Amino acid sequence: MAANDPEVLGNPLLVEWPEKEQRLFAPFLPDAIHWRIGSTTKDRKRGMALAYLDARDVMDRLDEVLGPPGWEARYHHLGDKTCCELSVYVGDRWVTKSNGCGDTDIESEKGAYSTAFKRAAVCWGVGRYLYDLGNVWVDLTGDRESPITENDLERLSGILRCSNAVQMAARAKDVRNLQKYRDEIPSRKYGRGPTDAFIKKIDQHLRSLPKLATPEQLKEIAYLIDRGGLSEQAPEAWCEKHGVETLEDLFEKAAEQMIMEGKATLRQRKAEQTKQMQQPKP
């Protein structure tokens, strides 16, 4: 539901929804994320680490963003599967999204309710980014209570911090930092799965965002300042206008507008000079 949809613009209660939706999608602190082991190698020395949230943290997020009266969960069974219908009050009506799962090996019915609830919350964006981390393989300790080695736990924490940073840059439309992360991530030794997943996600963000000013545009702006088409204060004024710190952070379209303005000023000055030269001397 986009902020400029006619339905949103015509209903004041819906205007707030895009901001709430963004808060639902927001990442959690790395300490809130837990890990369990999925597939393992035959010798059980390595396994795939799967990230998950505690159901209470999901409830807290829903309460924080929507308020306790703003959501409700209902459960029903489909054969041996448990389905959770998670309804959210959007604008002036209830909207329901659902998901489910089979009974888990641990805490059979209770575990199924919890898992179904968290999967339904993912439909609303809560914790959805955890599915974008890629296949993360780790060394196993053989200890059922603490199956992941300390070194790999630190690596997993780094992966989560990087994921949060990428999401923050994407929300801020910070193209420069997204490009920086794309260049740096391959050297961080996160593993092939997370690295490929990060690059894919960053490329998706970059394709959806405007491009930054090109080196050629920056050279032309410098030339126009030198020739007087743009004032020496122009860079600061344009940066302030577009909410960036340096000209290098300007989007390509804004840089082109700046160049056009500078060229127009030069043309006007040249025309005035030509006119003066053509006037008869006294």
Confidence of residue 162 (pLDDT cuts 50, 70, 90): very high
Q: Where are the domains of the chain?
A: 14-132, 149-209, 215-269
C-alpha 132/C-alpha 203 separation (Å) is 13
pLDDT tens for residues 121-161?
A: 999 999 999 999 999 999 999 998 899 999 999 999 999 99
The CATH architecture to which 14-132 belongs is 2-Layer Sandwich (3.30)
Total-model pTM: 0.79
In angstroms, the Cα distances linking 62 to 20, 70, 125, 278 are 10, 8, 11, 74
**Quick count: other Cβ atoms within 10 Å of Cβ 18?**
15
Per-residue model confidence (pLDDT) at position 3: 47
Instruction: Pull the structure tokens for residue 105.
Output: 């090996």
Contacts of 50 (CB under 8 A, 6+ apart): 35, 36, 37, 38
First CA to last CA distance, the chain: 71
Task: Name the percent of the chain lying above pLDDT 70.
Answer: 91
Question: Which one, of 189, 196, 198, 160, lies nearest residue 53 by Cα?
Answer: 160
C-alpha 233/C-alpha 37 separation (Å) is 58
pLDDT tens for residues 25-40?
A: 999 999 999 999 999 9
Per-residue model confidence (pLDDT) at position 109: 64
pLDDT tens for residues 212-257?
A: 999 999 999 999 999 999 999 999 999 999 988 899 999 999 999 9
